[in-house]
Chain A
């Protein structure tokens, strides 16, 4: 049984129901969430990341209720957004990665070791002291990933992580997100080739779950709906 489930979840914004009666169990190690703009993908992702509260229904992420244990959720879940500029908080690359470890209050030597290890893993060691905002778009998104992965999260939630990137950088970011490891991934994306690389997929339509299954089947159904 999955430890990450939504049961009867609804999100209301004023008069508009952004999510309606969403019941879903995240089972694969990597899950893609696809669908049109305004279908509820980002809201679903924000609920899993503890950034939006459900108006109705119950949510469990890694067995935790985000409404009751947000600190526990933050320790175990990392979130990556589409706009890398908004994710960079500190002026240099290494400081920004170290910023993610701030809540853990690690001894400086341990913190520096983990930062160096993460920078090497994401190919940023050579630019560790560069000002973050002088990086290219691809490097900025790698930095955002590095800041997320340095905390060794059990679950990574990503909202259109390749949206601002060219093909080469998008592939590099996708390779890191999908790399074998201990983390699980739930990712909203418009990139169907990227969704096809996941173990399972969810199709959202009009605030509801339309289909869940293998990516090839879910993508085929999505493409068929686009032709109607």
Chain B
């Protein structure tokens, strides 16, 4: 599953959340500002490989992340090939892959509790416009944790349809999935209320 915490003790895992966020944000910004050239594509790929290999996550995890966004990358590559040509297309696709996979390092290597505390700290200015930073950070954490549950619901709906021999159809998938997701949201709301949130 994309971007969920993976236990470990590598460099990224040991680094405190705030400097890690700043460092990775700077890296993503730096890559985004480079011109769209073959050299940028190579630099983006190198930055990714180094970040995952030396940071303790490993190239297998990097491959897992790239696989998870392969359709998005294919869409970017194809559309840019048509509109801008091969050099721009490859460079921009490499930059997009680097930006997403580097951002994923934060959630892959930071326990949600720690990430929550860092987010709460970073979101403090929102209190000026009457948004509770603690609640905002909690919403983000709960949303991240809901990803695998919704993935399981989607698999369950697809399997139930296959078992009944139904045709593959977005409408036939969407309605039961939406019902199941809303039921999950309702139950999650109860569970949060019961736990004093």
Contact = CB atoms under 8 A, between A and B. Distances in A.
A89 B141 CA distance: 8
A98 interface: yes
Interface string B141-154: 11011001100100
Interface stretch (B14-22, B23-31, B38-46, B189-197): B189-197
A29 interface: no
B196 A98 contact: no
B196 A103 contact: yes
A79 B4 contact: no
Interface string A87-99: 1111110010011
Interface string B177-197: 000000010011011111111
Contacts of A71: 196
A51 interface: yes
A81 B195 contact: no
A102 B192 CA distance: 11
A133 interface: yes
A86 B194 contact: no
A89 B195 contact: yes
B194 A91 contact: no
Interface string A27-61: 00000000000000000001001110000000000
Contacts of A102: 195-197
Contacts of B191: 79, 81, 86-87, 89
Contacts of B194: 49, 51, 74, 78-79, 81
Contact of A92 (B112, B195, B196, B197): B112
Interface centre among B112, B141, B190, B196 (most CB of A within 10 A): B196
Nearest to A111: B113
Interface centre among A92, A99, A147 (most CB of B within 10 A): A99
B184 A85 contact: yes
Given A86-B184, A92-B5, A131-B4, 9 more contacts: A79-B190, A79-B194, A81-B190, A85-B152, A87-B191, A90-B141, A91-B112, A92-B111, A131-B148
Q: Shortest 8 CB-CB distances between A and B: which pairs?
A: A86-B187, A79-B194, A103-B196, A74-B196, A133-B148, A87-B191, A129-B7, A95-B113
20 contacts: A74-B193, A74-B194, A74-B195, A74-B196, A81-B191, A81-B194, A83-B187, A86-B184, A86-B191, A87-B187, A89-B192, A91-B112, A92-B5, A92-B111, A92-B112, A102-B195, A103-B195, A131-B4, A131-B148, A133-B148
Interface of B: 4-5, 7, 111-113, 141-142, 144-145, 148-149, 152, 184, 187-188, 190-197
Interface of A: 46, 49-51, 71, 74-75, 78-79, 81, 83, 85-92, 95, 98-100, 102-103, 129-133, 147
